[in-house]
A and B are shown apart, each in its own frame.
Chain A
């Protein structure tokens, strides 16, 4: 068993529609950026894991098309797909490749072009159960809307509190040259934007982006030789909940997410998450999920997620900045989004964040959510190995 570190990351600029490149070229951009970042050549890479979610690319099993360009020609390649958590699962798989001692350096590459399907939500509807849920038209936005309503009812959170999450994300994204949506919004802008699915408004929701991201994992034997400040993987967790939304005890509090977080904290020896974690890159495609996640991760008490936002604890300069990159609300390339969280968390630990850098990061948390709020993946990165 080996300790594993992230030694380099690469990402493309995220936009609504990349007209100038096709899928393999997009993956190539990200993987070559990651290799250049660490001065590695493709021959140094022992194996690849690919994270692509079908069928958003308009091509089934798109990884087979792109993995050659990503560097997987005549190399071991495993393709991961766990819905929204795909990218993080690919990262976890790459971590296991290295931790098992079978490979020294492994690259996880995730790519997605969400501009390909005419309507992504129709595709997302096909992941619901065809007998019970599909006819109701549920989609990803439903996952944000129902918990938002329930959270307001149960804990008295307000539209304004959720709007702050969007304001924060867009403000942070101004510092990130790779982010898709780069404009500042005010609370009024959010509250006056058109309703997408009540109570979520347009600015409460994530965009659809094209882009790719690559993260290189290396074992303890070589990590320090590659980079002076690797980001050590100190804990990984994933958890599966049941598929039926109606079966959840209460959608406003994600019990399975809390369990996953506790398992992770136990692995990393974290007692007080708010103090011990320096920065978090969370999978927040809808503003309501910021409240739910901050509560489940123990950053605040249950039901107090809105107040945490109001107090400014999770803003840049606060005690625990969440999503200094702008997060999913500003960039969402579905299969790659969760890996982008790992990449951004690693950037923070490695101190390469430039404008979006949080000072003195020793511990960074990344999260990924997938399915009908069903698959949760968490990764803890640190400046020192556990």
Chain B
């Protein structure tokens, strides 16, 4: 049975009538639905009509659960979808959400009626509104479904969605992140994130803070401009092969080193652009994924952390939050030697220096050795541990969706569907994101085929 053959009635999950009729219809259909087959109201408490224990036992008898304890459920990615990143999307932002969700659902071969809940990961204010999810969640198909919105990068939303499924609350979850950064002055908006007493009047914004981090990192570890330029060249070259990337133009080391300063010491080609785009992921519980998906990708490790907000209080050269997040994720996935065990990594390279700092925080090399790693070509497309074969955030940065996009790219790599930027035989992938001033927060996800 292919996943497309798996069809069931979702009649009671679609409420098309007006107020009063819903009540009657729902009460009436309560019995029909429960008895006939597994489509459950709102995906709670039972697994497609059967008690959860039975499902687990079945999976166990087939030897499918042997990776962990018998009761330890896993969560699978059964569908991913994205839209191409651009400078400025012309359509309304909620239309983008609908497109993204459609793409992910088509990939999972599911109907929106078969989705239990929607988890959105978006920022407010970036599109000039508060409570942006008021429009994106219904547009993505969340109407009359369970919803929650994480006001951070989409990768955090993925973590929340993962826990919702592990908690037995839901069977299928749509994680959605619509990133529209063309609607507002992002420098001003990120300046608004600073505390009004000590920081805001300095005129800082996140890009400037990234520049401060880069400068300190360069000074401490003797990272050269050439090493930084190599990261840009590598990622922009990869982006050429990714049809969803925003900046698809090859650059040379000379071009990077001669490009204008954006905020010193960062040059224009060393930092991420602002893009419009977005992506979505469909997650499913293990028993269901085994039944309806031919190529599930499993979330085996998740970690996220938060360090101090105050730039002056922390060591800017270390991505401490990433370090903690990676520890949590590696422990969960049982990874001891990241370089050897991970086949492909998608890193949140908001600047070239942040990619290098992330190498160290993720344990790919010791502190200060990231420059050598890039020089030796370890993280090239053909290296031992390819990093950002999609082009990374340097090539497309749909704000708030950039982290989830890293995850989506990992999943595509593991499935062997990355087309021109495919890494051979990728079995374990790592997705990473950082948000906030001086990389205050970070989330790391490990996926396995």
Contacts and interface: CB of A to CB of B under 8 A. Distances in A.
A212 to B, nearest CB: 16
Given A1-B167, A64-B440, A255-B19, A239 B146 contact: yes
Given A78-B156, A240-B138, A262-B26, A61 B436 contact: yes
A137 interface: no
Contacts of B197: 22
Contact of A370 (B131, B152, B194, B320): B131
B305 A75 contact: yes
Interface string A50-77: 0011110011110111011000111111
Nearest to B30: A266
A82 B147 contact: yes
A100 B163 contact: yes
A333 interface: no
Nearest to B195: A65
Interface of B: 15, 18-20, 22-23, 26-27, 41-42, 44-45, 52, 92, 118, 123-125, 128-131, 133-135, 137-138, 142-152, 156, 159-160, 162-169, 189-190, 192-197, 303-310, 320-321, 324-325, 328, 436-437, 440-441
Contacts of A241: 138, 143-144
Interface residues of A, number: 71
Contacts of A353: none
Contacts of B41: 263, 266
Nearest to A92: B148
A36 interface: no
Interface of A: 1-2, 22-23, 48, 52-55, 58-61, 63-65, 67-68, 72-83, 89, 92-93, 95-97, 99-102, 123-124, 126-127, 129-131, 236-243, 249-250, 253, 255-256, 258-259, 262-263, 266-267, 370-372, 374-375
Nearest to B133: A82
13 contacts: A59-B194, A72-B306, A74-B321, A80-B149, A101-B167, A126-B129, A126-B130, A129-B135, A240-B118, A240-B143, A258-B23, A371-B134, A375-B134
B196 A74 contact: no
The 4 closest A-B pairs by CB, nearest first: A100-B166, A99-B167, A249-B18, A81-B151
Contacts of A64: 193, 309, 436-437, 440-441
Given A82-B148, A256-B144, 15 more contacts: A55-B124, A59-B194, A75-B306, A77-B305, A78-B150, A78-B152, A80-B148, A82-B149, A92-B148, A242-B138, A243-B134, A243-B138, A253-B20, A255-B20, A259-B22
Contacts of A131: 92
B183 to A, nearest CB: 10
Contacts of A80: 148-151
A68 B169 contact: no
A201 to B, nearest CB: 26
Nearest to B436: A64
B144 A259 contact: yes
Contact of B134 (A83, A93, A99): A83
B193 A76 contact: no
Nearest to B17: A249
Nearest to A374: B134
A119 to B, nearest CB: 13
A23 B190 CA distance: 18
Contacts of A22: 195, 197
Nearest to B191: A60
A60 B149 contact: no
Nearest to B136: A243
Contacts of B125: 54-55, 60
Given A63-B151, A64-B436, A130 B166 contact: no
Contacts of B304: 76-78
Contacts of A129: 135
A254 B20 CA distance: 10
Given A64-B441, A78-B152, A243-B138, A124 B144 contact: no
A89 B118 CA distance: 13
Contacts of B26: 259, 262
Contacts of B163: 93, 96-97, 99-100, 102
A68 B131 contact: no
Nearest to B94: A243
Contacts of A83: 130-131, 133-134
A59 B134 contact: no
B189 A60 contact: yes
B195 A61 contact: no
